[in-house]
């Protein structure tokens, strides 16, 4: 757990079980008691819809669920007409970088788009502790629950990462450096030495800190059995089951950052087509059997202006906004056939990974590459569906799969459960885009209606009127 005051820690553990909850938990006396009338409830496990229900929420928990025709109309709660609306559990974004990047703006913004849980995969311990202090204060309207990994663990110092890296090259380095990382998980990175990687896995088992992150190049896909999650479906993740004479990693960096996107997309089509699936399937099957998950961050890997909402620039800092506009223009200038070839190849790989049994987590890598807190998760879910998942499977990737991966209680809308849910205008099982614009969110004992969500979005804009 994060290094927070013991009294606060006790409260957070009781609510959040094994992960750090960076959320101001409402006390019972402050909780919003509400009754939704006429709402349709989606079971995210079975995909079944219970139509026209009354849901009573008292002191932050679901007290009862009954058919609307059994409702007498008598309730001490605030009645909310929800005919034709749909309830689903609050969503996860399983890959973000937020605690060191204007968290006072971005944390509430996640909730304003129905994202009530996030996993921060790379913040300095200074930023982690500042984030704790921010949320323990009273300045935020709301915030998601947050799992954190702290800094990146790597064996090669990269100057541009600054304090975001902890350099470990040996087992003794691991013992010396990880003492200070009192975090939920440990994030391994690309250039880790095998002996350091093994020591980190062993440390994680001893200290209850699952290991997540990249596939270290010197370890390879077959060597990360026991790692909880792999982040990104990219060259690094699959490098060890590609022809080794290709020097694919160096070529991909050169193509993307020097030659341009046309060269990059062409190379990616070549790379995905060159994979040795005898090696890939075996390694992925072993990874899945050991309890591993993949966060593919497909929007990151298939940069595409068509996915970026028109309102996105309002939430991007001026410098990042300029870069975003420029990069999207460059991508848009690539012949569509070239881009589509890379996307189609990646889609085939994605479905081979799924067929191997590796469960998928929905994660965005916000705020990188024009991604916006909360808003971008709907883009990721849309791309997951475009790549072959059903809408239900995509929703599961943002609900029950993260809960399973991070060993917390599976989300459910049922009597006795903590109320953590979002209300939608449409059925996301019919159209995944229904998750993009919630009409209400209940989390942390508070009901945020449409007006409250829109106010949070307005206040989170970089250039507010």
**What letter does residue 151 receive in the DSSP assignment?**
S
**432 within 8 A of 394, measured Cβ to Cβ:** yes
The pLDDT-based confidence of 27 (bands split at 50, 70, 90) is: very low
Is pLDDT above 50 for 237?
yes
**pLDDT tens profile 334-380:** 999 999 999 999 999 999 999 999 999 999 999 988 899 999 999 99
Q: Would you state the structure tokens that stand for residue 409, as one six-digit string?
A: 């209680």
**DSSP helix/strand/coil, 385:** helix
β-strand partners of 39: 53
Instruction: Please name the helix (run of DSSP H) or strand (run of DSSP E) that holds residue 107, with its range, or none.
Output: helix 103-112
Which three-class secondary structure state does DSSP give residue 388?
Answer: coil
The distance of Cα 398 from the centroid of its chain, to the nearest Å, equals: 7
Q: Identify which of 394, 235, 395, 213 has the alpha carbon closest to the alpha carbon of residue 301.
A: 235
| Residue pLDDT, tens place only, 124-162 | 999 999 988 887 888 889 999 999 999 999 999 988 888
445: Cβ contacts below 8 Å, ≥ 6 apart:
25, 26, 27, 28, 30, 31, 32, 59, 60, 419
Residue 245 pLDDT > 80: no
| Rounded average pLDDT over 193-215 | 97
Give the pLDDT mean for 223-249: 94
Residue 47 has which token pair?
């995909």
Q: Indicate the average pLDDT of the chain.
A: 90
pLDDT of 5 > 50? The answer is no
CA 136 → CA 286, 297, 419, 429, distances in Å? 41, 30, 21, 36
pLDDT at 454: 97
pLDDT tens digits for 31-77?
A: 899 999 999 999 999 999 999 999 999 999 999 999 999 999 888 78
Q: Give the C-alpha separation, 295 to 361, whole Å.
A: 5
Contact by Cβ (8 Å): 272, 345: yes
pLDDT at 13 over 50: no
Rounded CA gap, 301 and 289, in Å? 26
Q: 35: buried, middle or exposed (CB in 10 Å: 19+, 13-18, 0-12)? A: buried
Give all domains of the chain, ordered by start, each with its CATH number: 23-88+412-459 (2.30.40.10), 91-405 (3.20.20.140)
- Tracing tokens 């991508």 back to the chain, one arrives at 331
Share of the chain above pLDDT 70, in %: 93
**pLDDT-derived band of residue 465, with 50, 70 and 90 as boundaries?**
low
Which of 250, 248, 245, 283 lies closest to 269 in space, CA to CA? 248
């Amino acid at each position: 757990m994060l290094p927070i005051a013991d009294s606060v820690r006790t409260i957070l553990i009781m609510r959040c079980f094994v992960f750090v909850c960076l959320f101001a938990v409402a006390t019972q006396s402050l909780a919003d008691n509400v009754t939704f009338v006429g709402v349709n409830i989606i079971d995210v496990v079975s995909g079944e819809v219970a139509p026209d229900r009354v849901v009573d929420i008292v002191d932050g928990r679901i007290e009862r669920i009954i058919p609307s025709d059994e409702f007498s109309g008598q309730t001490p709660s605030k009645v909310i007409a929800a005919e034709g609306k749909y309830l689903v559990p609050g969503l996860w974004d399983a890959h973000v970088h937020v605690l060191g990047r204007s968290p006072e703006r971005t944390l509430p913004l996640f909730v304003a788009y129905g994202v009530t849980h996030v996993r921060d995969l790379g913040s300095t311990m200074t930023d982690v502790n500042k984030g704790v202090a921010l949320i323990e204060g009273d300045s935020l309207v709301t915030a998601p629950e947050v799992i954190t990994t702290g800094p990146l663990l790597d064996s090669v110092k990269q100057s541009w990462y600054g304090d975001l890296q902890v350099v470990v090259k040996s087992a003794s380095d691991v013992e010396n450096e990880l003492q200070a990382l009192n975090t939920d998980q440990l994030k391994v990175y690309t250039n880790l030495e095998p002996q350091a990687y093994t020591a980190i896995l062993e440390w994680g088992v001893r200290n209850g800190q699952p290991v997540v992150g990249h596939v270290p190049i010197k370890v390879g896909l077959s060597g990360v059995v026991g790692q909880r999650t792999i982040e990104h479906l990219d060259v690094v993740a699959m490098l060890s089951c590609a022809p080794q004479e290709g020097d694919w990693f160096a070529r991909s960096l050169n193509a993307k950052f020097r030659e341009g996107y046309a060269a990059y997309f062409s190379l990616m089509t070549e790379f995905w087509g060159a994979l040795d699936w005898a090696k890939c399937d075996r390694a992925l099957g072993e990874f899945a059997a050991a309890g591993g998950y993949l966060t593919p961050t497909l929007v990151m890997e298939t940069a595409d202006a068509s996915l970026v909402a028109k309102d996105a620039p309002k939430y991007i800092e001026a410098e990042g906004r300029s870069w975003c506009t420029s990069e999207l223009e460059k991508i848009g200038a690539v012949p569509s056939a070239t881009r589509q070839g890379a996307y189609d190849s990646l889609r085939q790989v994605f479905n081979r990974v799924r067929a191997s049994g590796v469960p998928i987590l929905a994660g965005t890598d916000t705020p990188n590459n024009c991604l916006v807190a909360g808003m971008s998760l709907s883009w990721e879910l849309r791309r997951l569906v475009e790549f072959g998942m059903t809408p239900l499977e995509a929703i599961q990737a943002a609900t029950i799969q993260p809960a399973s991966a991070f060993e917390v209680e599976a989300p459910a809308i049922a009597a006795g459960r903590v109320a953590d849910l979002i209300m939608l205008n449409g059925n996301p099982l019919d159209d995944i885009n229904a998750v993009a614009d919630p009409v209400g969110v209940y989390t942390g004992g508070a009901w945020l209606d449409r007006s409250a969500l829109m106010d949070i979005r307005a206040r989170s804009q970089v250039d507010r009127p």
